[in-house]
Amino acid sequence: MPRRPPLRLALLGLALVAGCTTQGAAPQDDSPVDVEVPVVDAATAATCARLFEALPDEVDPGVTRRPVRGDETLTAAWGDPPVTLTCGVPEPDRPEEPVVINGVAWSVRDIGAGFRWTTRSRAVHVAVDIPSRYENGAEIVNPLSGPVASAVPTTAPQQ
C-alpha cells in the first residue's frame, strides 16, 4: 500500500502553491486620477460632501481608493484601471428600466470602454464609470449604494 505524505507536508505544499499564484499580481497604481469636475450649486455641493464622508475605502477586493486631481468633494476613484465616481451630474436622459441595488435606482449605459451607472430619482445625481475590465458592475456599485441612499434624498418613489 502506498504511503501518504503527512498532513503537515501536504498543507505546506498547498501554501507554497497558493503563494506562487499571487506573486505575479501587479501593484495598484496610486497616482492621482483625472476626473472631470462638474459645476454645481451650494446645495448640491453640500449633498455631495455628505456622500463623500460615507464612501468606502474599497469597492471590491483589491479595488481601493485613489487620489483624484481636482475637487475631492465631487469626485472619487478606486482601483487600476480606475473606477470613478462623480457627484452632481445631469439626470440620465434615457428612460430605460433602472437597475435597483440596495434601494438605489441606477441607469446603466455602455460608454465604449466600460459602463456608466447613474442614479435616478435622486435630488442629486451620481455617476460611476466602471471600466470593462471589471466583470460585474453591480458588485462595484453595491458598496456605493448604501452611502448614496443615506446621503442623497430621493425625488420620487423608487420603481
> What's the structural domain count of the chain?
1
pTM assigned to the model: 0.80
**pLDDT category of residue 157 using cuts at 50, 70 and 90:** low
For 105-146, the pLDDT digits (tens) are 999 999 999 999 999 999 999 999 999 999 899 999 999 999
What is the pLDDT at residue 156? 63
| Domain extent at residue 59 | 40-151
Q: 14 lies in a domain?
A: no
Q: 134 lies in a domain?
A: yes
What is the pLDDT at residue 22? 28
pLDDT value at 37 more than 50: yes
Q: 23 lies in a domain?
A: no
**pLDDT category of residue 153 using cuts at 50, 70 and 90:** very high
Q: Determine the Cα–Cα distance for residues 70 and 82; give it in Å rounded to an integer.
A: 15
Convert 21-41 to b/e letters by CB count within 10 Å (16 or more is b). Answer: eeeeeeeeeeeebebebbebe
